[in-house]
Structure 1
Amino acid sequence: MGDLVGWILLGLVAGAIARKVIPGEEKGGCLLTIVLGIIGAVVGGWIGRNVGFLPPDPNPGDWLPSLGSVVTATVGAMIVLLLWKWLRK
Structure 2
Amino acid sequence: MHLIWTILIGFVAGLVARAITPGNGPSGFFLTAALGIGGALAATFLGQALHWYRPGQSAGFIGAVVGAVILLLAYHLISKKS
1:83 equivalent among 63, 66, 74: 74
Letter in 2 for 1:24: G
More displaced 10-residue stretch of structure 1: 43-52 or 13-22: 43-52
Letter in 2 for 1:88: S
Secondary structure in structure 1 of the residue aligned to 2:68: helix
Secondary structure in structure 2 of the residue aligned to 1:57: coil
Q: Which runs of 5+ in 1 are unaligned?
A: 59-65
What is the CA deviation profile of residues 13-72 of structure 1, one whole-angstrom value per residue up to 9, with x for unaligned ones? 1101100111123362222111111111100111223334434324xxxxxxx9x61011
Q: Structure 2 CA distance, aligned partners of 1:50 and 1:10?
A: 23
Q: Structure 2 CA distance, aligned partners of 1:87 and 1:39?
A: 17
Letter in 1 for 2:22: P
Matched-pair contact (CA < 8 Å) for 2:25–2:72:
no
Q: Which runs of 5+ in 2 are unaligned?
A: none
Matched-pair contact (CA < 8 Å) for 1:54–1:69:
no
Match of residue 74 from structure 1: 65
Match of residue 11 from structure 1: 10
CA RMSD of aligned residues (A): 2.0
Percent of aligned pairs sharing the same letter = 38
TM-score (norm 1): 0.73
* Correspondence 1:46 to 2:45: yes
Q: Which has the higher contact order (CA 8 A, sep 6+)?
A: 1
Q: Structure 1 CA distance, aligned partners of 2:46 and 2:5?
A: 19
